[in-house]
Amino acid sequence: MSSSHPEANRMADPLFEPIQVGDLSLPHRVAMAPLTRSRAGQPGDVPTDMNVEYYRQRAGAAFIISEATQVSPQGKGYAFTPGIHSQAQIDGWRKVTAAVHEAGGKIVLQLWHVGRISRPELQPDGATPVAPSAIKPEGAQTYISNESGMVDVLEPRALATDEIPGIVEQFRRGAENALKAGFDGVEIHAANGYLLDQFIRSNSNTRTDAYGGSVENRLRLPLEVVKAVTDVWGTERTGIRVSPTGSFNGMHDDDPVTTFGLFAERLNETGIAFIEVVEDSFQGNHASGRPEPVIDAIRAGFTRTYIGNGAYTADEARERIAAGRCDLATFGRPMIANPDLPERFKRHAALNEWDSSSFYGGDEHGYIDYPFLAESD
């Protein structure tokens, strides 16, 4: 019997109320954001035992969204990021999902194609990276090796209209391979200036065919990808990530309220389980603070689970969940430094500080050696 005692209601913590997200029954609302860590095994961009331990440590999250994972060799944009297009990669990820499940957690795979945020050195046969339009993103960089450091990306090649079904097929195969690897679902990466985001936003898509021009046309490819992925996974195990006002990788949209409000409506029609919205990116954001009008438009158009992301504190997440601004929150940098972050939030315990110098690349340091509460008490 549930209690209606005023003291019980006052003590309720919005972060630790259970929630149903599609087919996934989650015990609380502190989820792990997708985090590129650039530690996939070489050659082959294959998850290793070190990656297994990293995800196992964080299985206490409501659910884990994996690091961005390229759906094809063409989709790769950074050194040492994992893929989901080879049998070795499937086998490596299967070890990750088994470890997370054994620890009582759930994990979904983020499906990724970087588009223009790449270099010929990272592409099959040294090919020019592809994009909706041949526009070089100002200020965008990637890295091709530990020795190179960060280097500017170059002008991409515009995809021909008859190539676009092949892009959709890459996502479909990635979704099929994620299923084989034992994931609990998938998230389509349509954020942060990568290929699907490049099609959505007005400054990166100047096409004149059915995939450019009007907002409906710019949404066409992402929605075709959603259809292909849900054909594999069903709607109840599929989500998507967007960053409507993010400026990372040279991105901008002339009217994000209209663009992402309509996208939310179209996504709602598909029936997918959740949308994760990057509201306040540490990598750059055109809005001052959280883009509340855009959030309102997305909330109005998408009636299923809304996941807020972007520099949330525990108390801010509590307040926004209680106010109906989001249904749960994903945490990035705090989850890197605190593998037991939900438990720390529950106890209102101190947090480990993250080491930004070890975010990308490297070894166990800054990856699987952060202390748990029992070790730091």
Catalytic positions: 194
- Beta-strand pair 141-142/151-152: antiparallel
HSE-CB of 58 using CA atoms within 13 angstroms: 34
Q: Which residues contact 169 (CB under 8 A, 6 or more apart)?
A: 228
Count CB neighbours of 5 within 10 A: 9
Local structure of residue 60 (DSSP, 8 states): T
**Scanning the structure block, which residue is given the tokens 């970087």?**
114
**How many CB atoms lie under 10 A from the CB of residue 181?**
22
**Short-list 355, 357, 347, CA closest to 377:** 347
- Residue 277 tokens read as 């919205």
Q: What is the rounded (10 degree) CA torsion for 158, 137, 228, 256? A: -120
Rounded CA separation 13/225 (Å): 37
Residue 109 burial (C-beta neighbours within 10 Å; 0-12, 13-18, 19+): buried
- Beta carbons of 200 and 244 less than 8 angstroms apart: no
Q: Could you tell me the two tokens for 215?
A: 């907002």
Residue 242's SS3 state is strand
